[in-house]
Amino acid sequence: MNLGKTANPFMLGRLPLKIRTLMTKDRLHFLLLDIGHFLDHLFMLVFATVAALALHREWGVGYAVLLVYATPGFFAFGLFALPAGWLADRF
């Protein structure tokens, strides 16, 4: 099966300029999406860890008790991610 010279995605120089531009924009969009996704998970984990350590000392309670307070926050974060994603795509 001969797919031609444009079948190899690593040979962008042989593709027409319009296709190369589209592929570059798609890669940039995915890069920004990946960076945002990484930061989202990073901040959620860092915030939860720092908050748990600080509240453990300040309130004098164990991690199990803090989970009772944190679980609704994580649930709300996941629940509101759907409308936030819809709004981000729409606007």
Q: What tens digit of pLDDT does each residue of 10-63 get?
A: 555 666 776 666 667 778 888 888 998 899 888 888 877 787 788 888 888 888
Residue 89: per-residue pLDDT = 84
Comparing 86 with 4, which gets the higher pLDDT? 86
CA distance 5 to 45: 46
Do 28 and 36 touch, CB atoms closer than 8 A?
A: no
Element (H, E) at 42: helix 17-59
Q: How confident is the model at residue 8 (pLDDT cuts 50, 70, 90)?
A: low
Q: How confident is the model at residue 80 (pLDDT cuts 50, 70, 90)?
A: very high
Helices 63-90 and 17-59 cross at an angle (nearest 10°) of 150
In this predicted structure, the answer to whether residue 1 has a pLDDT above a threshold of 70 is: no
In this predicted structure, the answer to whether residue 66 has a pLDDT above a threshold of 70 is: yes
